[in-house]
Amino acid sequence: MSDRAGQSHRRFRAYTNRDLDKIPQLSRLSADHRRSLKAVAAVLPFRVNNYVLDELIDWDRVPDDPMFQLTIPQPGMLAPDELARMRALVEAGERAAIVAAARELQRQLNPHPAGQLKLNVPSLDGARVKGVQHKYRETALFFPTPGQTCHSYCTYCFRWAQFVGVDELKFAAREADTLVRYLQRHPEVTDVLFTGGDPMVMRTRVLRRYVEPLLDAELPGLTSIRFGTKAPAYWPQRFTTDDDADDLMRLLELVQRRGKHVSVMAHFSHPRELEPAIARSAIRRLQGAGALVRCQAPLIRRVNDDAETWSRMWHTQVSLGAVPYYMFIARDTGPKEYFKVPLHRAYRIFRDAHASLSGLARTARGPSMSTTPGKIVIDGAAELAGEPVFALRFLQARRAAWTGRPFYAKLDERAAWFDELRPAFGEPAFFFEAELASMQRSA
Ligand SMILES: *Cc1c(COP(=O)(O)O)cnc(C)c1O
Ligand code: SF4
């Protein structure tokens, strides 16, 4: 299947909810299923490309196929009454009514979890720096405007609010200039992480306009430039056969000649994404250009919620010289009910997958929740002083001093996000809560 992928998928073709009917494989679904799919796609962002459709989804295993669940809207992503209402509206075909109902549902789906809009946007000379988020001391996230989309969308994506045309929700940057000025004032930043969307949807000449000024600024504190991307999974051609793929390799090499490390934070959700020869070539080429490929993904019910899948995925990554990095808990946003995995189960999946492999694959950390106070990892489920607890720890914290300090929550088998947890041992609050509240008041 893989060589075919290299040759017949040189040209990118994406489908959105406007041309659902043109996706040949969807004719295999029942008419009823297609109607539901259209109703969901009217509310939640949908975009899929020819490579995902032809090479990654196993159509013989639909609807349970994990790649189908990951990329194609599912009826269960809306509550039954919402689904029925949207189906009726879509069938009636009145645009204004569809859009109004969709907006209303979108607003109910917690589009801005973890205080992203207010707390993380930094300021410079009294003005907010658009397109930059700076939450953890060492690392600044950068959202270049043309990188706020993806080659294909994940059904569970927490960044979905950016894709539905609600302008004030965009964290996009206009100028690399602003980023440089910000970094000049913040020598504590060692890492700039290009993210999105997917910065690798940008053509190389566009990306170059962001990267070169960073290098030219000769920021002494900057050690690493990272690119968060799903392109090695959804469009590996970006790194192999696209006409500016070679240019991209030259750009990555340039970063390193200027003394900075390049990490490609590759989002791989399922081992199948690593099977096509072209995906493996993409990883090899990135490595050949000196980049370190580190892999991360959220744990998603129906996509990758078993230890065997993670074990196989991490094993394959290590065999390709890539480094397992993070397992995330999916955020409490969007169609979370459909995809959520309780924390206790997530912890067991992580532990079992971790335990099944050698030390080289145990570089992954998790399961981790990106919450308002920081990235919280579940280190264990145990009984302490007669009480069943989760042992928790900040991998990253909004206040650097919180990092690494163990703390405990009552074990709750059903909890699926941090805000459902309560402190153990009868304590009234977690150790950081008072300080966090005062930070929020002064934001
Ligand atoms: C995860 C994350 C980072 C990077 O954290 P590392 O542990 O250094 O990979 C930076 N900023 C934000 C907001 C994050 O969520
Ligand atoms: S690739 Fe990342 S940003 Fe894009 S849809 Fe998937 S999870 Fe969201």
**pLDDT reported for residue 109:** 78
* Site residues for ligand 1, CB cut-off 6 Å: 133, 135-136, 139, 141, 193, 370, 375, 395-396
The predicted-structure confidence for 226-264, as pLDDT tens digits, reads as follows 999 999 999 999 999 999 999 999 999 999 999 999 999
24 within a domain of the structure (yes/no):
yes
Q: Which two tokens stand for residue 20?
A: 């659902």
Q: According to the model, what pLDDT value does residue 164 have?
A: 47
* Residue 154 Cα to ligand 2 middle (Å): 5
Q: Hey, whose CA ends up nearest to atom 6 of ligand 2?
A: 154
Cα-to-centroid distance, 254 and ligand 1 (Å): 24
Ligand 1 centroid to Cα of residue 136, in Å, is 7
**Of ligand 2's atoms, which has the minimum distance to the CA of residue 153?**
5
User: For atom 5 of ligand 2, which residue has the closest CA?
Assistant: 153
Residue 159: its pLDDT value, please? 63
Is pLDDT of 328 > 90?
yes
**Residue 48, beta-bridge partner list:** 15
Sheet with 224-229: strands ordered across: 132-136, 139-142, 191-194, 224-229, 261-267, 292-299, 323-329, 365-370, 374-384, 387-397, 406-410
- Across the chain, mean pLDDT equals 91
Interval 200-220: pLDDT, tens: 999 998 899 899 999 999 999
- Can you give the pLDDT at residue 172? 37
195 to 152, 159, 224: CA distances (angstroms): 15, 11, 14
Structural domain contains residue 84: yes
Given a cut of 90, whether residue 130 has pLDDT beyond it is no
| Burial profile 35-46: b = 16 or more Cβ within 10 angstroms, e = fewer | bbbbbbbbbbbb
Q: Is the pLDDT of residue 160 over 60?
A: no
Task: Tell whether ligand 2 has an atom less than 6 A from the beta carbon of residue 198.
Answer: yes
The atom number, within ligand 2, closest to the CA of 230 reads 1
Residue to substitute in 117, 135, 136 for testing ligand 1 pocket (most ligand atoms within 8 angstroms of CB): 136
> 123-124 and 127-128: which strand pairing?
antiparallel
Q: What is the pLDDT of residue 306?
A: 98
**How many structural domains is the chain composed of?**
1
Domain that holds residue 31: 4-106
191 CA: nearest ligand 1 atom: 8
Question: Does 40 sit in the ligand 2 pocket, CB within 6 Å?
Answer: no
409 vs 169, more confident: 409
Q: Examine the pLDDT at 442 and tell me if it is beyond 90.
A: no
299 within some domain = no
* pLDDT above 90: percentage of residues in the chain: 78
Check whether 170 has a pLDDT greater than 60. Answer: no
Q: What pLDDT shows up at residue 10? A: 81
pLDDT tens for 10-51 read 899 999 988 899 999 999 999 999 999 999 999 988 999 999
Residue 319 belongs to a domain: no
42 lines ligand 2 (CB under 6 A): no
Query: Is residue 157 lining ligand 2, measured as CB closer than 6 Å?
Result: yes
List, for residues 387-437, the tens digit of each pLDDT value: 999 999 999 999 999 999 999 999 999 999 999 999 999 999 999 999 999
- Asked if residue 121 has pLDDT above 80, the reply is yes
Look at residue 114 in the predicted model and tell me its pLDDT. Answer: 55
What pLDDT score was predicted for residue 1? 42
